[in-house]
Amino acid sequence: MTESPQLTQVFFADSYDHNELCQTLSKLPGPVIGCSSAGQLTLNGFQKDGISAMRLHSHHFKAVPYLIHPLDNLADQIEVIAADVHDRLQYSKQQAFGLLLVDGLSAREEAVSASLYRALGDVPIVGGSAGDKLRFQNTYVYYDGQLLQDCAVFTLCMTSLPFTVFKHQHFQSTEKRLVITEAIPERRLVQEINGEAAVKAYADCVGVEVDALNASVFSRYPLMLRIGNDYFVRGIAGVEEDGSLKFYCAIDKGLVLTIGEGTAAEEALEQCLRNVREEIGEPVIIFGCDCILRRLEMEERHIDKAIGSLMAENHVFGFSTYGEQYNSLHVNQTFTGVALGG
């Protein structure tokens, strides 16, 4: 694979004609990576439809994209990628981070993230899962003139510029605990919580009627899982006809979850971005992966314009996702990103 001092990132609604879109994207300066989205993060704030693109170009920056396809054959592909990455890093003597875009309906994000991070060692990874505006029918990742499913694109970014990788969320754990008593992990389905139908147990816990459950409720009352000393959101994607809850991420029988409680979203994001500036100075660009459930919550609270403006002021570019990647983990209702300094 050839190193390039530039990288074009493109995020787009799933409604475009595939042939026309691929022909257009293939004309952009490369390499070009991107995916279908549940909306975009632009320098004008949140964008719900359309297409957005950004090109990085610097002699202090080099990008190398790798296709992983299909996702049921990870081990051999990642072994080859890791060997090439290690050779490049040894030769370049530069620091590096990875950008990861994954088919958002593949249910393979955990395996991809964990396998890559384990194989690459010290390379931090951030990324997001492709979306389709909450239709949950088809999500696509773009690579080398093609829109692909059942795939991921990992892009190695080597640079002498300062950068920092971060994970941000504005929820705290509460004392309301739920135990998953029946689940189908491979389908990300939870059938029972606390010994009763999952949908009823969750609705009772958050004080909402079952018929009133929707994406807005799920975004306000997320479930959280403790890993080490940190809490991670396990986002609910929807309700199945049999009363099961469908999740955006890995879930299993026996896990103990708590209901999350939101803090002041604007203040929390301001502090996150302030921490970024303290670490690397004023960022030239922040590539961000922001969960669609976060935007839905912001809309419900009528603060989406303020949050979008805050992101734009801090040079955030990216997309609304069906889940986010942070090093070895696949997470939900989170804003992950990498900030690149000048």
pTM higher than 0.85 for the full model? yes
| Average pLDDT value for residue range 130-134 | 94
* pLDDT of 174 above 90: no
Amino acid 242: pLDDT:
92
| Lowest model confidence (mean pLDDT) among 109-123, 199-213, 214-228, 294-308 | 214-228
* pLDDT of 74 above 80: yes
Q: What mean pLDDT value characterizes the chain?
A: 94
Phi, psi of 17 (to 5 degrees): -65, 125
pLDDT band of 253, cuts 50, 70, 90:
very high
CA distance 47 to 147: 21
Amino acid 220: pLDDT:
85
The two tokens of residue 144 are 């080398």
Is 217 strand, coil or helix? helix
CA distance 322 to 155: 19
β-partners of residue 182 are 192
The two tokens of residue 223 are 């479930």
* pLDDT of 171 above 90: no
Give burial (CB, 10 Å; 0-12/13-18/19+) of 124: middle
* pLDDT of 1 above 80: no
Is 5 strand, coil or helix? coil
| Lowest model confidence (mean pLDDT) among 57-71, 238-252, 279-293 | 238-252
Give burial (CB, 10 Å; 0-12/13-18/19+) of 331: buried
The two tokens of residue 311 are 């992101």
